[in-house]
Amino acid sequence: MAIKHYLQFSDLTLAEYEYLIERASIIKKKFKNFETYHPLLDRTLVMVFEKNSTRTRLSFEAGMHQLGGTAVYLNTRDSQLGRGEPIEDAAQVMSRMSDIIMIRTFGQEIIERFAANSRVPVINGLTDEHHPCQVFADVFTYIEHRGSIKGKTVTWIGDANNMLYSWLQAAEVFGFHVNVSTPKGYDIDYNWVSKDHSHFTLFDDPSDACEGADLVTTDVWTSMGWEEENEIRKKAFAGWNVDAAKMARAKPDALFMHCLPAHRGEEVEAEVIDGPQSVVWDEAENRLHVQKALLEYFVKGRVA
Ligand code: CP
Ligand code: NVA
């Protein structure tokens, strides 16, 4: 039987997400109640990082430990990956010594080649094109605060990056709409979007994109890997920030999200990210809980 991987948001069905949301809520409660829960006793997660991380490393490592297992951290700098060992060979070896693997890397084709050579499930911890674990945590956070996300409007302001592509896939799975506003020259790459464009609308003006939104979200203007463009991007993205005036165009109870790390004074103003509509710390915490549900599901299958 083919091994199931989580390489992009669309790899799981709505029914699977509904099950995982239930599991994440149960697992979160156990954690808050100091209840020991070790379904992955003696199991090993390998975490491969080719880019920096705080939240992803911490949430996967702490999460695996809390589920009774162990997490091994590898990065490009001090593993053989940095010395040119083929990704296919690395996948063969790592997957013979572990039960599940998480990778943060550059192009999506790298994680796909890795997964094709892995004997165990592979989870995407961020690629240039996708960040499914983060968007799953964000959808979970929205549901915790406001109930069902079906039929709601999510506004995306800023770069057409990995977070946006995962949001667009989530919109198809969960049945919500995304208003997208990106500066000229930084628009959507349709290679990373499904053929059905009915779940999003493009706006030239980022303020107009916020009109009536239930959730406004953004991300850094320069993602990891594009650092050389930082100064050019700062000019091109001026105006594509989330400030109080834009939030005022959204619904009065609209939430603000940012996957973090954030740059106050660039893509978001302090008045918003540190204001009452912001749920950024809940998003970060929920990485832990949804990923524990994913780890349980990908190692053991359905347990309830
Ligand atoms: N949001 C997120 O993935 O954060 P890190 O880069 O710190 O892992
Ligand atoms: N779009 C950002 C997300 C960081 C968590 C990046 O890829 O750098």
CA of 1 to the centre of ligand 1 (A): 33
Contact between 178 and 186 under an 8 Å Cβ cutoff? The reply is no
Which atom of ligand 1 lies at the shortest distance from residue 57's CA? 8
The separation between CA 18 and the C-alpha centre of its own chain, rounded to angstroms, equals 17
- pLDDT value, residue 193: 96
Which atom of ligand 2 lies at the shortest distance from residue 219's CA? 1
CA of 56 to the centre of ligand 1 (A): 5
- pLDDT value, residue 109: 97
Give me the residues of the chain with pLDDT under 50, please. Answer: none
- pLDDT value, residue 58: 98
| Ligand 2 pocket test target in 138, 161, 266 with most atoms within 8 Å of CB | 161
- pLDDT value, residue 145: 98
CA of 57 to the centre of ligand 1 (A): 8
- pLDDT value, residue 2: 86
- pLDDT value, residue 77: 87
- pLDDT value, residue 78: 86
- pLDDT value, residue 93: 97
